[in-house]
Amino acid sequence: MFIALVGAVLAIVLLISGEEKTKKVPFDELHRPFYEIFKQTGSKSESEKGCEVCHNDATRPLPKGHPPKNRCLFCHKLKQTAP
């Protein structure tokens, strides 16, 4: 029974793990200041403060069913190749 339980847990872990489906934050001229803020402060919450300037209902609305927009870097990761 113990082996069956361990097998079930491993199966669940393998099923829910997989390829990341969220987009990474582009490393371009528009997003570079946020990379710099993160580099200087090490704080994702400080870096996210400027996201709503562009990503809002008027300019770039979020898709239906998108989670709350105040924690962008919780799901959208910064690219590792940024200096």
- Write down the pLDDT at residue 10: 93
Tens digit of each residue's pLDDT (9 = 90 or more) over 31-82: 999 999 988 998 888 888 888 888 888 888 888 888 877 788 888 888 875 4
Measured CA to CA, the distance from residue 51 to residue 75 in angstroms comes to 13
Residue 44 neighbours by CB under 8 Å, 6+ apart: 38, 73, 74
Per-residue pLDDT tens for 11-28?
988 888 777 778 888 999
Q: Which two tokens stand for residue 24?
A: 């990474």
DSSP 65: T
Domains of the chain: 21-83 (1.10.1130.20)
Helix (H) or strand (E) holding 82: none
pLDDT of residue 32: 92
pTM > 0.75: yes or no:
no
